[in-house]
Amino acid sequence: MLWLICIFGAITKTTTVFMASSKKVGSLYLIPLPVAEGANHTLPAEVSVHTARIQHYFAENVRTARRFLRSLHAGLVIENLQFSEIDKHTNADTGLLRKWLAEGLEVGVMSEAGCPAIADPGSALVAIAHNMGAKVVPLTGPSSIILSVMASGLNGQSFAFQGYLPLKDPARAKRIRELEARSAAEKQTQLFIETPYRNNAMLADLLKICANRTKICIAMDLTAPGEYIMTRTVAEWKQQIPELGKLPAVFLMLG
């Protein structure tokens, strides 16, 4: 009789462990925002469908996220939603993500503009979701990187996003020369960005450092009414240097 009790106990324990381990994990949705503020027409309908349902979010900027959701859903009660800001210094609250996913919740991730985890925060959250066995759902949307490559006329088969370049010389000049040499050797388009109020300084440095034959594309204020996209050689840019202003821009280079 004792052996029957032991077997029954073992089966019960195994069943309990199986049930605990088979508990459904939540899903992580990567939600794009318009590159230009208010340009909701650049988003597919699926963004509106999913955000009408999701109630838990990680956002690069909570105020931007709230404003965006209100623009999509006039009757949405924002107070019913939960937000966690992806802090630029301490990163995201990964413990909270694990908790929400373990509870089987649908969780959204939003950057301030464009697609999360593409030159924006979010990749660490996606890695955790994969580690937990959660479903990861990337939603279609505009990315300034992809849009600028598409419109540049430069090599779209091989390109690399370099983020921000060093702010001051000699590191800045050295980095520009390195990227130009790599671009020429590998025929690889190099992309980088700058703080908008330094756009003019960035262009001036490129024209001063790069060879005349090197091609430079400036893709600025993408998807906005005043969108500006122009590709010229350094020699051609020197003939007429534009005033770029303080708008978000992507710089592309091909040596």
What per-residue confidence (pLDDT) applies to 121?
Answer: 87
Specify the residue for token string 């301490």. Answer: 90
Cβ–Cβ under 8 Å, residues 224 and 38: no
**88 pLDDT tier (thresholds 50, 70, 90):** confident
pLDDT tens digits, residue range 150-179? 999 999 999 999 999 999 999 999 999 999
Q: Angle formed by the axes of helices 171-186 and 199-209, to 10°?
A: 60
For the stretch 185-207, pLDDT in tens is 999 999 999 999 999 999 999 99
Look at residue 3 in the predicted model and tell me its pLDDT: 45
The pLDDT assigned to 47 comes to 97
The CA-based dihedral angle spanning residues 133, 139, 143, 147, taken in that order and rounded to the nearest 10 degrees: 120
pLDDT given for residue 57 in this prediction: 98
- Residue length, the chain? 255
Structure confidence at residue 213 (pLDDT): 98
Quickly tell me which residue has 């019913």 as its tokens: 80
**Quick one: pLDDT band at residue 21, thresholds 50, 70, 90?**
very low
Contact between 134 and 24 (Cβ < 8 Å): no
Backbone angles phi, psi at 91, to 5 degrees: 65, -165
Fold of 144-254: 3.30.950
Domain 25-138, second-level architecture: 3-Layer(aba) Sandwich (3.40)
| Domain pair 25-138 / 144-254, same fold | no
Query: Which pLDDT score is estimated for 227?
Result: 96
CA distance 211 to 214: 6
Q: For residue range 209-236, what is the model confidence (pLDDT) as tens digits?
A: 999 999 999 999 999 999 999 999 999 9
At 15, the pLDDT band (50, 70, 90 cuts) reads very low
Distance CA 58, CA 109 (A): 5
Domain boundaries, the chain: 25-138, 144-254
pLDDT at 108 over 70: yes
Confidence class of residue 87 from pLDDT cuts 50, 70 and 90?
Answer: confident
Q: What is the reported pLDDT for 8?
A: 41
pLDDT of residue 12: 45
Cβ contacts of residue 38 below 8 Å, gap of 6+?
71
Question: pLDDT digit string (tens) for 40-72?
Answer: 999 999 999 999 999 999 999 999 999 999 999
Predicted local distance difference test score (pLDDT) of residue 10: 46
- The share of the chain scoring above pLDDT 90, in percent, equals 85
CB neighbourhood size of 184 (10 A): 15
Look at residue 18 in the predicted model and tell me its pLDDT: 37
Tell me, rounded to whole angstroms, the distance of Cα 68 from its chain centroid.
16
Please report which helix (H) or strand (E) contains residue 238, including its range. Answer: helix 234-239
Confidence (pLDDT) at 22? 56
CA–CA separation, 46 and 53 (whole Å): 11
CA distances from 118 to 11, 27, 77 (A): 47, 19, 29
Q: How confident is the model at residue 11 (pLDDT cuts 50, 70, 90)?
A: very low
Task: State yes or no: pLDDT of 135 exceeds 50.
Answer: yes
